[in-house]
Amino acid sequence: MSSPQSGILPEGSQHALFITLKAAEGSESLLAIRDLCPMFEVMTDKVAALDESAKLISVLGFGDKIWGRLFPTAKPKQLKSFEERQTESRRAPSTPGDILLHIRSERPDLNFILARQVVQMLAKNVSLVEEIMGFRYLDSRDLTGFVDGTENPEGAERTEVALVGEEDKTFSGGSYIQMQRYVHDLAGWDTLPVTEQEAKIGRTKADDIELSDDIKPLTAHISRVVINEDGEELEILRHSMPYGNSEEAGLLFIAYARTPAHFDRMLDRMIYSDEQGGYDHLLDYTRAVTGVSFFAPSAAFLQAV
């Protein structure tokens, strides 16, 4: 298997930048983006060397619409645009995005330096869609107060879950990325008793213990996204982070996976009602405002461009 980009497998960082870009029309923009590809790892390593203890790492990903223009000879088998979903009052929108920069470390200034260098290199060939600065909140909690990422795979399993293997040999070592920005209704959430919050999440708030099946509602978030098929759990590798200011705050959800199918199943079960009318009741207190999909090719793929 080819080596993945540096920002995919390591454990979570203290700070992250999530930058979504749209490519300009014309061949000049394609040339500029292709020129970035073999330089991206070098640029990351150069900034990382300013403080090795900060552990700066990064990922460069591309969306379905730009992929064929950049790399017309081959395409990841399962790369597709983000699929919009809507029912009743629940919606997962699909929003624009050709390029993803996911930069993370223990120092936000280093993240900024690398992001600025990359965007300056691309210059007028791209436009900014969205830039979100994520941060670790307390002991890796979401702004709802619950620990986030508890279900993440560990150790060697992260490779198995996150990276494409021999099933798509040209793109082995790459990863499918799904990203959504959620805006939380924290004012409403904070009015709920802790026991009601726990019922909506499916875990205890203080010590992050999953509720037993006899008391965990089928509408709890955990009940909707933990899916077992043929004796195997459908897994993704999450690198989500809280973000916010005094007016708007929430979760920048981002997941890496060997296949986008696992995320699709999870989001369907969150949004759509089952035969009993159940859906993810956490969505009564948070809403997605963006939805984009990318593929992060292996480090070797980028270097060979």
Q: Does residue 8 sit within a domain?
A: no
Q: Does residue 67 sit within a domain?
A: yes
Tally of domains in the chain? 1
Residue 53 token pair = 């203890």
**Is 148 tagged catalytic?**
yes
pTM of the model: 0.97
Tens-place pLDDT, residues 59-107: 999 999 999 999 999 999 999 999 999 998 999 999 999 999 999 999 9
Q: Does residue 6 sit within a domain?
A: no
* SS3 state at 57: strand
Q: Does residue 169 sit within a domain?
A: yes
Contact 270, 185 (CB under 8 A): no
pLDDT confidence of residue 86 = 96
Tens-place pLDDT, residues 148-175: 999 899 999 999 999 999 999 999 999 9
Residue 165 makes CB contacts below 8 A (sequence gap 6+) with 1, 172, 258
Q: Does residue 2 sit within a domain?
A: no
Measured in degrees and rounded to the nearest 5, phi and psi for residue 251 equal: -125, 130
How many Å apart are CA 279 and CA 90, to the nearest integer? 10
Residue 233 token pair = 């759990």
Q: Does residue 294 sit within a domain?
A: yes
Q: What is the CA radius of gyration of the chain?
A: 19
Strand partners of residue 294: 177
Residue range(s) defining the domain that contains residue 98: 15-303
pLDDT confidence of residue 121 = 97
Q: Which amino acid is present at 256?
A: Y
Q: Does residue 163 sit within a domain?
A: yes
Residue 220 token pair = 């709890």
Residues in the chain: 305
Instruction: Name the catalytic one among 98, 142, 148, 280.
Output: 148
Tens-place pLDDT, residues 268-287: 999 999 988 899 999 999 99
Q: Does residue 10 sit within a domain?
A: no
